Protein backbone atom coordinates (compact mmCIF):
# COMPACT_ATOMS: atom_id res chain seq x y z
CA UNK A 1 0.00 0.00 0.00
CA UNK A 2 1.93 3.04 -1.27
CA UNK A 3 1.79 6.08 0.97
CA UNK A 4 3.67 9.21 1.92
CA UNK A 5 5.56 8.75 5.18
CA UNK A 6 6.34 11.66 7.47
CA UNK A 7 8.53 11.64 10.56
CA UNK A 8 8.24 12.49 13.34
CA UNK A 9 4.47 12.46 13.83
CA UNK A 10 4.76 14.77 16.83
CA UNK A 11 7.51 17.14 17.92
CA UNK A 12 7.69 19.40 20.95
CA UNK A 13 10.69 21.69 21.10
CA UNK A 14 11.87 24.79 22.82
CA UNK A 15 12.03 28.15 21.11
CA UNK A 16 15.33 28.65 19.34
CA UNK A 17 15.98 24.97 18.65
CA UNK A 18 16.40 23.50 15.18
CA UNK A 19 13.58 21.31 13.90
CA UNK A 20 13.90 18.87 11.00
CA UNK A 21 10.87 17.21 9.48
CA UNK A 22 11.27 14.37 6.99
CA UNK A 23 9.12 13.05 4.22
CA UNK A 24 9.41 9.93 2.10
CA UNK A 25 7.31 10.45 -1.04
CA UNK A 26 5.58 7.59 -2.80
CA UNK A 27 8.12 5.68 -4.88
CA UNK A 28 8.15 6.94 -8.46
CA UNK A 29 6.43 10.24 -7.73
CA UNK A 30 8.20 13.28 -9.19
CA UNK A 31 6.54 16.15 -7.29
CA UNK A 32 6.65 17.01 -3.60
CA UNK A 33 4.72 19.69 -1.73
CA UNK A 34 5.12 21.00 1.81
CA UNK A 35 2.07 22.60 3.44
CA UNK A 36 1.46 24.11 6.86
CA UNK A 37 -1.98 23.87 8.45
CA UNK A 38 -3.20 26.20 11.19
CA UNK A 39 -6.67 27.09 12.40
CA UNK A 40 -6.25 30.71 11.39
CA UNK A 41 -4.58 30.34 7.98
CA UNK A 42 -5.81 26.98 6.80
CA UNK A 43 -3.46 25.16 4.39
CA UNK A 44 -0.52 27.29 3.27
CA UNK A 45 1.93 26.14 0.63
CA UNK A 46 5.52 26.36 1.82
CA UNK A 47 7.46 24.65 -0.97
CA UNK A 48 6.95 22.73 -4.19
CA UNK A 49 9.50 20.48 -5.90
CA UNK A 50 9.45 18.70 -9.22
CA UNK A 51 12.17 16.19 -10.08
CA UNK A 52 13.91 17.36 -6.88
CA UNK A 53 14.21 20.95 -8.11
CA UNK A 54 12.43 23.70 -6.16
CA UNK A 55 9.76 25.38 -8.27
CA UNK A 56 8.02 27.55 -5.71
CA UNK A 57 9.04 28.40 -2.16
CA UNK A 58 7.54 31.87 -2.08
CA UNK A 59 5.32 30.94 0.86
CA UNK A 60 8.25 29.98 3.06
CA UNK A 61 9.92 32.42 5.48
CA UNK A 62 13.42 32.29 4.04
CA UNK A 63 15.22 33.56 7.10
CA UNK A 64 14.41 30.49 9.17
CA UNK A 65 12.90 27.83 6.92
CA UNK A 66 14.63 25.69 4.34
CA UNK A 67 13.42 22.81 2.20
CA UNK A 68 15.54 20.31 0.30
CA UNK A 69 15.39 17.01 -1.53
CA UNK A 70 18.74 15.28 -1.02
CA UNK A 71 17.49 12.42 -3.18
CA UNK A 72 14.28 11.23 -4.77
CA UNK A 73 13.24 9.29 -1.67
CA UNK A 74 13.67 12.04 0.91
CA UNK A 75 12.40 15.58 1.37
CA UNK A 76 13.28 17.66 4.40
CA UNK A 77 11.87 20.82 5.94
CA UNK A 78 14.04 22.59 8.50
CA UNK A 79 13.27 25.44 10.85
CA UNK A 80 16.21 27.19 12.52
CA UNK A 81 15.64 28.83 14.93
CA UNK A 82 12.11 27.74 15.75
CA UNK A 83 9.56 30.15 17.23
CA UNK A 84 6.22 29.59 18.99
CA UNK A 85 4.37 30.96 15.93
CA UNK A 86 5.73 28.00 13.94
CA UNK A 87 3.47 25.67 15.92
CA UNK A 88 1.27 23.95 13.35
CA UNK A 89 0.75 20.70 11.50
CA UNK A 90 3.15 20.31 8.58
CA UNK A 91 2.07 18.12 5.70
CA UNK A 92 4.08 16.62 2.90
CA UNK A 93 2.36 15.47 -0.28
CA UNK A 94 3.65 13.81 -3.43
CA UNK A 95 2.31 13.24 -6.92
CA UNK A 96 3.23 11.94 -10.36
CA UNK A 97 2.89 14.60 -12.99
CA UNK A 98 2.31 13.57 -16.58
CA UNK A 99 0.03 16.24 -18.00
CA UNK A 100 1.37 19.18 -15.99
CA UNK A 101 -0.84 20.12 -13.12
CA UNK A 102 -3.42 17.41 -13.59
CA UNK A 103 -2.24 15.00 -10.97
CA UNK A 104 -3.70 14.76 -7.51
CA UNK A 105 -1.40 14.98 -4.52
CA UNK A 106 -1.22 12.23 -1.92
CA UNK A 107 -0.75 13.46 1.63
CA UNK A 108 1.20 12.10 4.55
CA UNK A 109 -0.20 11.99 8.07
CA UNK A 110 1.55 15.20 9.03
CA UNK A 111 3.99 16.33 11.71
CA UNK A 112 2.39 18.18 14.59
CA UNK A 113 4.95 20.71 15.79
CA UNK A 114 4.69 22.53 19.09
CA UNK A 115 7.26 25.18 19.92
CA UNK A 116 7.23 26.29 23.57
CA UNK B 1 -2.73 34.11 -9.56
CA UNK B 2 -5.06 31.24 -8.83
CA UNK B 3 -7.34 31.18 -5.82
CA UNK B 4 -10.15 29.16 -4.29
CA UNK B 5 -13.04 30.28 -2.12
CA UNK B 6 -15.15 28.08 0.11
CA UNK B 7 -17.84 30.49 1.29
CA UNK B 8 -19.13 28.33 4.15
CA UNK B 9 -17.03 27.55 7.21
CA UNK B 10 -19.61 25.04 8.42
CA UNK B 11 -22.37 22.99 6.78
CA UNK B 12 -24.90 21.03 8.82
CA UNK B 13 -27.12 18.40 7.25
CA UNK B 14 -29.37 15.63 8.54
CA UNK B 15 -28.40 12.05 7.80
CA UNK B 16 -30.07 10.82 4.63
CA UNK B 17 -30.48 14.31 3.18
CA UNK B 18 -28.50 15.54 0.19
CA UNK B 19 -25.43 17.63 0.90
CA UNK B 20 -23.64 20.35 -1.00
CA UNK B 21 -20.29 21.92 -0.15
CA UNK B 22 -19.58 25.00 -2.23
CA UNK B 23 -16.39 26.02 -4.01
CA UNK B 24 -15.58 28.80 -6.46
CA UNK B 25 -12.25 29.41 -8.14
CA UNK B 26 -10.21 31.94 -10.06
CA UNK B 27 -7.50 31.06 -12.60
CA UNK B 28 -5.90 32.59 -15.67
CA UNK B 29 -6.24 29.57 -17.88
CA UNK B 30 -8.31 26.43 -17.59
CA UNK B 31 -8.65 24.99 -14.11
CA UNK B 32 -7.72 21.63 -12.74
CA UNK B 33 -10.02 21.20 -9.72
CA UNK B 34 -9.81 18.81 -6.78
CA UNK B 35 -11.71 17.88 -3.63
CA UNK B 36 -10.06 16.45 -0.55
CA UNK B 37 -11.41 15.28 2.82
CA UNK B 38 -9.64 15.42 6.16
CA UNK B 39 -10.68 13.35 9.18
CA UNK B 40 -9.45 14.33 12.66
CA UNK B 41 -5.70 13.92 13.17
CA UNK B 42 -5.25 12.62 9.64
CA UNK B 43 -3.80 13.86 6.39
CA UNK B 44 -5.91 14.91 3.45
CA UNK B 45 -7.46 12.21 1.31
CA UNK B 46 -8.19 12.72 -2.37
CA UNK B 47 -11.89 12.44 -3.30
CA UNK B 48 -12.17 13.46 -6.95
CA UNK B 49 -10.86 15.77 -9.64
CA UNK B 50 -11.92 17.58 -12.78
CA UNK B 51 -9.36 17.90 -15.56
CA UNK B 52 -11.37 17.94 -18.76
CA UNK B 53 -14.42 16.34 -20.32
CA UNK B 54 -17.68 15.58 -18.54
CA UNK B 55 -18.71 18.37 -16.17
CA UNK B 56 -20.06 15.88 -13.62
CA UNK B 57 -17.26 14.02 -11.89
CA UNK B 58 -17.80 11.01 -9.66
CA UNK B 59 -15.41 10.15 -6.88
CA UNK B 60 -14.89 8.11 -3.74
CA UNK B 61 -17.53 7.29 -1.10
CA UNK B 62 -20.45 8.31 -3.33
CA UNK B 63 -19.35 11.91 -3.74
CA UNK B 64 -19.62 13.82 -6.97
CA UNK B 65 -18.89 17.35 -8.11
CA UNK B 66 -20.12 19.51 -10.94
CA UNK B 67 -17.85 21.82 -12.87
CA UNK B 68 -19.60 25.00 -13.99
CA UNK B 69 -17.35 27.19 -16.10
CA UNK B 70 -19.73 30.14 -16.38
CA UNK B 71 -20.12 30.33 -12.60
CA UNK B 72 -16.50 29.32 -11.93
CA UNK B 73 -17.76 26.78 -9.44
CA UNK B 74 -17.01 23.19 -8.51
CA UNK B 75 -19.50 22.23 -5.80
CA UNK B 76 -19.22 18.90 -4.00
CA UNK B 77 -22.39 16.88 -3.66
CA UNK B 78 -23.75 13.65 -2.27
CA UNK B 79 -27.34 12.45 -2.67
CA UNK B 80 -27.66 10.99 0.83
CA UNK B 81 -25.37 12.04 3.68
CA UNK B 82 -23.96 9.65 6.26
CA UNK B 83 -22.82 10.48 9.78
CA UNK B 84 -19.42 9.12 8.77
CA UNK B 85 -19.16 11.88 6.14
CA UNK B 86 -18.62 14.39 8.95
CA UNK B 87 -15.16 15.86 8.31
CA UNK B 88 -13.29 18.86 6.93
CA UNK B 89 -13.53 19.27 3.16
CA UNK B 90 -11.07 21.17 1.00
CA UNK B 91 -11.39 22.38 -2.56
CA UNK B 92 -8.16 22.96 -4.51
CA UNK B 93 -7.20 24.34 -7.90
CA UNK B 94 -4.24 24.40 -10.25
CA UNK B 95 -3.99 26.64 -13.27
CA UNK B 96 -3.35 24.75 -16.49
CA UNK B 97 -1.95 27.92 -18.05
CA UNK B 98 1.38 27.32 -16.40
CA UNK B 99 2.61 23.85 -15.60
CA UNK B 100 4.61 25.10 -12.66
CA UNK B 101 1.73 26.30 -10.54
CA UNK B 102 1.24 24.57 -7.19
CA UNK B 103 -1.96 23.13 -5.79
CA UNK B 104 -3.80 25.94 -3.96
CA UNK B 105 -6.38 25.08 -1.31
CA UNK B 106 -9.43 26.83 0.04
CA UNK B 107 -9.87 27.42 3.77
CA UNK B 108 -11.96 24.30 4.19
CA UNK B 109 -15.59 23.62 5.09
CA UNK B 110 -16.52 21.58 8.13
CA UNK B 111 -19.39 19.22 7.38
CA UNK B 112 -21.49 17.89 10.24
CA UNK B 113 -24.01 15.18 9.47
CA UNK B 114 -26.51 14.79 12.26
CA UNK B 115 -28.22 11.49 12.94
Enumerate the domain spans of chain B.
3-114
Least confident of A10-24, B14-28, B99-113: B99-113
Are A45 and B102 a contacting pair at CB < 8 A? yes
Give dist(CA B33, CA B4) in Å, integer: 10
Q: How far is the C-alpha of B103 from the C-alpha of B97, rounded, in Å?
A: 13
Pairing of strands A106-107, A88-95: antiparallel
Residue A110 lies in a domain: no
Total of domains in chain A: 1
B chain contacts of residue A33, beta-carbon cutoff 8 Å: 102-103
Residue B17 C-alpha, separation from nearest chain A C-alpha, in angstroms: 28
Higher pLDDT, B46 or A104: B46
* Residue B98 in this model has a pLDDT that exceeds 80: no
Is residue A68, in this structure, part of any structural domain at all?
A: yes
3-state secondary structure (DSSP) of residue B60? helix
pLDDT tens for residues A13-26? Answer: 999 999 999 999 99
Average pLDDT of the residues of chain A: 92
Q: Which CATH architecture has domain B3-114?
A: Sandwich (2.60)
Residue pairs between chains A and B whose CB atoms are closer than 8 Å: 57
Q: Residue A112 domain-assigned?
A: no
pLDDT digits (tens, 9 = 90+) for B23-80: 999 998 889 999 999 998 888 999 999 998 899 999 999 999 999 999 999 999 999 9
Contact assignment for A105 to B101 by CB distance below 8 Å? no
Domain assignment present for residue A25? The answer is yes
Residues of B in contact with A35 (CB under 8 A): 105
The whole domain housing A50 covers 5-97
pLDDT exceeds cutoff 70 at A99:
no
The residue that leads in pLDDT, A97 or A36, is: A36
| CATH (domain of A65) | 2.60.40.10
Amino acid sequence: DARVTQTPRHKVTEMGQEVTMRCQPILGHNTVFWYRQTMMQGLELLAYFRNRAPLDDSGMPKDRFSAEMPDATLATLKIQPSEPRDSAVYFCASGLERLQGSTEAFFGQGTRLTVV
Amino acid sequence: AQSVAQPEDQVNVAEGNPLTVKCTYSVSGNPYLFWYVQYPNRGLQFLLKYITGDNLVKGSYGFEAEFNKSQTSFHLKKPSALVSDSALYFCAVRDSYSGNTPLVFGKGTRLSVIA
